[in-house]
Amino acid sequence: MAWQSLLVVVGALTAGALAQTDASCAAPSCTGPKSPGAFMDEYLNVAKYDVSQRPRCQGNGPTIVEVQFELERLAEVDQKVGIVAMAGYLRTWWHDMRLAFNGTDLGGCMDRVILTGAQAWGRMWLPDIYIDNLVRKHIDSFASSVEVQSDGMVTRTEQMIVEVKSPLNLGKLPYDEHNATILLAS
């Protein structure tokens, strides 16, 4: 019986201490954009951000854009014409210091902003990457996004199906091997 009453008293003290701690430790308000819309208004404002100017890397050096194509599946192979269709994700990433903002570690409200491809298109600089051996391409606009990290790192992801011209030498059938190449250029 004494043990049960002691447990109740300790429980009551703990609940009271938690209530007092919650009231005295209210989180300070953050500064900077609080939503993707606020980020676009503040950082992608036409008066502040020139979409025609590429981001600068160390003075007037080139903007370094890294590229990756993640193959999701081989969609189709047309042996007669030499066309290979592939589904996957084209990712490009680069730094744009004009888009850097204070992350949560510096009192900001967020560490990254994710925009749809449609929100970013025409409002921010995007690298002009194209597929040189492209026959046809389908980009799912709902599956395109641009992520901006607080340090200015920008990552664009586009889900797409690409058909590329790729010569196929079938002379060693059935022991043949083929490489389908996606030639990226800018």
**Six token digits for residue 8:** 């109740």
CB 131 within 8 A of CB 137: yes
Average pLDDT over every residue of 51-68: 85
CB 115 within 8 A of CB 35: no
Average pLDDT over every residue of 27-55: 87
Average pLDDT over every residue of 39-44: 91
The pLDDT assigned to 28 comes to 61
- Rounded to 5 degrees, φ, ψ at 23 are -70, -35
Which of the pair, 89 or 177, is modelled with greater confidence?
Answer: 89
Predicted confidence band of residue 181 (pLDDT cuts 50, 70, 90): confident
Average pLDDT, the chain: 82
Which of the pair, 179 or 52, is modelled with greater confidence?
Answer: 52
**Residue 36: its H or E element:** helix 36-43
**Residue 99: its H or E element:** none
- Whether the per-residue pLDDT at 11 is higher than 50: the answer is no
105-116 pLDDT, tens digit each:
999 999 999 999
- Whether the per-residue pLDDT at 99 is higher than 50: the answer is yes
- Whether the per-residue pLDDT at 37 is higher than 50: the answer is yes
Predicted confidence band of residue 31 (pLDDT cuts 50, 70, 90): confident
Q: What are the C-alpha distances in Å from 93 to residues 65, 66, 96, 104, 108?
A: 6, 5, 10, 22, 23
Predicted confidence band of residue 58 (pLDDT cuts 50, 70, 90): low
CB atoms within 10 A of CB 172: 8
Rounded Cα gap, residues 131 and 55, in angstroms: 22
